[in-house]
Amino acid sequence: METYLIDFIGYAAGVLGVVSFIPQLIKTYCTKQANDISMGMLLLFIATNALYIIYGVALDLIPIVVMLTLSTMIIVAQIFLTVKYSTKDN
């Protein structure tokens, strides 16, 4: 398979991964509620992305590094909103 096609597939998968977090981020921001968001899941995603970024850097897999860095930034934003909008009652 051609290198450009492999890179395209990598970027396409990365875009879908990044975009998949955006609806939750928007919903949390609009509703100002985050009690149903699992902080453990978000932290595991950060850890997973960090390991994949290291893997991507080690193997010079630029699509993986770029897309997982963007995904991590969105997850960090979701963590911020989750902390900001979670009530201590629940």
pLDDT digits (tens, 9 = 90+) for 1-22: 788 898 888 888 888 988 999 9
- List the alpha helices (DSSP H) in 1-90: 3-19, 22-31, 39-58, 62-85
Closest CA to 61 of 17, 6, 5: 6
Taking the complete model, does pTM exceed 0.85, yes or no? no
Q: Which parts of the chain register pLDDT below 50?
A: 90
**CA 1 to centroid of chain Cα atoms:** 28
CATH of 3-85, one of 3.20.20.80, 1.20.1280.290, 3.40.640.10, 1.20.120.330: 1.20.1280.290
